[in-house]
Each structure stands twice: as structure tokens, then as C-alpha cells.
Structure 1
Amino acid sequence: MSLATTDLCDAFDAEIQVLDPIFQSFGGNVRFHGPIATLKLFEDNSLVRETLGEAGGGRVLVVDGGGSRRCALLGDQLGELAVKNGWAGLVIDGCVRDSAALAKLPLGVKALAAHPRKSVKLGSGQKDIAVRVGGCELRPGQWLYADEDGVIVSARQLA
């Protein structure tokens, strides 16, 4: 990414949404961007695994995990799957685990916290719908930009 989120905010303020500053960085790539794909689920990462098994094409998976801090929705195995299939990153309104291993992957990962417990596997959740994460409504196809200063979203590609 050639421009920082701060520069994008300065240049395109009327066109962007800024997510609440609640996310920590866990991936090896602190800066990442791409078109958004969305999931809505709660304490069940079955759909995360299924989606990351698809070709990512440089997209960013936004997971509305309901803000749960009771289990992790992403770990090192799913992180490796995301890298293998060409995902640029993930923004998770929930937790991750295997944080030391995730930090070594060439993948952007923003989440609320780390948690050692794995999620259930019931196959529940919704895909490709509008979700509310970080105080903003996000839709598939919008563009997400993340770096050390935060996460922003635009209806179109900015950089």
C-alpha cells in the first residue's frame, strides 16, 4: 500500500468510514488492503474455514463475530490457509489464537484480542451480507485499508 490510512483520511475524508480504534494487529503484515468479503457468525468458525479455503484474490475477510471474547475465530492453520489461497488479510470482531505463529505469516490480521480456546464447529453463520463492525456498516465489495494507525473503508479503491 503506497499511502497510509492517515494520508487516505486527509485526501478522501468525505468518502471514507473509520472503524473504531478497538483492533490489535496480529498478522505479519501490519499494512494491508483489498476488497471486502463478509461473514456474520458467533463463536463458530466453520464458515471462516470454508471461506478461506476459496481463492482470496487479494480480498480482506471481515468477520462480524459479535465481539465475543470467549473463543478464537482464527488460528495459525486458518492463517496459513488464507495465505495459501491469496487473501490479503482479515478483520475480526472477535479473537484469534496462535498469535506468535500468526505474526510470522505474510497476512494482515486485525482482531480484538488473543484467546487460547477454539470455537465450536456447527456450520452456522451468514456470508456476503452487510455487517456492523467497529461502529461502521461494511458491505462486500467495499475497499478496506489497514495499517498501524487504524482501519478505514471506502466504497471504491483509493490507492
Structure 2
Amino acid sequence: MDFLTTDLCDEFGDRVQILSPGFRAYGGLPRFAGPIATLKLFEDNSKVREILGEPGRGRVLVVDGGGSLRCALVGDQLGDLAVRNGWNGIIVYGCIRDSVALGKLPLGIRALDTHPLKSVKKDIGERELPVVFGGVAFRPGEWLYADEDGVIVSPEPLV
């Protein structure tokens, strides 16, 4: 990926939203970008497995997990699934687990923290709707850019 979020903010600052600091990098790709797909759920990652099992086509999955720090929503098995199906990255407003294994994957991952406990599986959650957290409204089809300096969202591709 040939972009820097700092340069994109300098050039397109009036058109981008910037995710608040506090999301840590866990995947093996520090820089990633792509069109957004969204999920809204709470402590149940059934829909995460479902959507990552579909062709990613270079998209970035944004998971609004309500900011829960009580269990993990993404682990090494889901990371492997995302890579196999062509996803570029995952943003989790919640926790991940298996951080060492995820760090070895060619996948960008940002999350609030780690937690060893897996989530429940009740198949509850909503797909492809706007979600808001960290001062950003994430809308399906808009573009997300992430690198070592932050995460930004744009209504259209910038590079």
C-alpha cells in the first residue's frame, strides 16, 4: 500500500474522518486500506465468522462490538479465514485474542485490547449498516485507510 494517513489528511483533510487514538495494531500488516463492510454486535462473533467466510475482495471489516472488554471477537482462526478470503483488514471496537498468531498474518488489525475469553455464539448481530465509534461514522462502501499513524475514513477512494 502506497499511502500515508498523514499525507492524506494534509491533502484531503476536509473530506476525511479520523478515528480517535486508542486502537492498537495487532495484525502483520501495519498499513492497509479498502472499502468498508460493517457489523454491529455485542459479545457474539457469529456474524464475524459468517462475513469473513465470504469473498473479501480487498475490503476492510469494521466490527462495532460496543467497546466491550469482556471477551474477544476475533482470533487466529478468523484471521486465517479473512486472509484466505481476500480481506485486507479488520477494525474491532472491542477485543481480539491470539495476538501473537494474528501478528504473523498478512492482515491489518486494529482493536482496543486483547482478551483470552472467546465470545458466545448466538448468531446475533446486524450487517452492512452505518456504525459509529471513536468519533467516526463508518458506512459500508466508504474507504478506510490505516497505517502506523492512525485510521481515517473517506467517502471515496483517495489513492
TM norm structure 2: 0.99
**CA distance in structure 2 between the aligned counterparts of 1:17 and 1:157, rounded to whole angstroms:** 13
Corresponding residue of 1:2: 2
How far does residue 110 in structure 1 lie from its aligned partner after superposition? 0.2
Equivalent residue letter for 1:136: V
Q: What secondary structure, in the 3-state scheme, does the structure 2 residue paired with 1:123 have?
A: coil
How far does residue 135 in structure 1 lie from its aligned partner after superposition? 1.4
Q: What secondary structure, in the 3-state scheme, does the structure 2 residue paired with 1:14 have?
A: coil
Q: What secondary structure, in the 3-state scheme, does the structure 2 residue paired with 1:27 have?
A: coil
**C-alpha RMSD over aligned residues:** 0.5
Equivalent residue letter for 1:96: I
Corresponding residue of 2:26: 26
Corresponding residue of 1:136: 136
Equivalent residue letter for 1:148: E
Is residue 55 from structure 1 mapped to residue 41 from structure 2 by the alignment?
no
Deviations 1:45-104 (A, max 9, x none): 000000000000000000000000000000000000000000000000000000000000
Matches within 5 A, 1:58-97: 58-97=58-97
Q: What secondary structure, in the 3-state scheme, does the structure 2 residue paired with 1:15 have?
A: coil
**CA distance in structure 1 between the aligned counterparts of 2:138 and 2:98, rounded to whole angstroms:** 27
Aligned residue pairs: how many?
159
Equivalent residue letter for 1:71: C
Matches within 5 A, 1:37-56: 37-56=37-56
Q: What secondary structure, in the 3-state scheme, does the structure 1 residue paired with 2:13 have?
A: helix
Deviations 1:89-128 (A, max 9, x none): 0000000000000000000000000100000000000000
**CA distance in structure 1 between the aligned counterparts of 2:80 and 2:148, rounded to whole angstroms:** 22
**CA distance in structure 2 between the aligned counterparts of 1:129 and 1:85, rounded to whole angstroms:** 22
Query: Which runs of 5 or more residues in structure 2 are unaligned?
Result: none
How far does residue 133 in structure 1 lie from its aligned partner after superposition? 2.1
Query: Which runs of 5 or more residues in structure 1 are unaligned?
Result: none
Corresponding residue of 1:108: 108
**What percentage of residue pairs aligned between the two structures are identical?**
65
Equivalent residue letter for 1:100: V
Corresponding residue of 2:145: 145
**CA distance in structure 1 between the aligned counterparts of 2:133 and 2:100, rounded to whole angstroms:** 25
Give runs of ≥4 in structure 1 deviating > 2 Å: none
Deviations 1:24-58 (A, max 9, x none): 00000010000000000000000000000000000
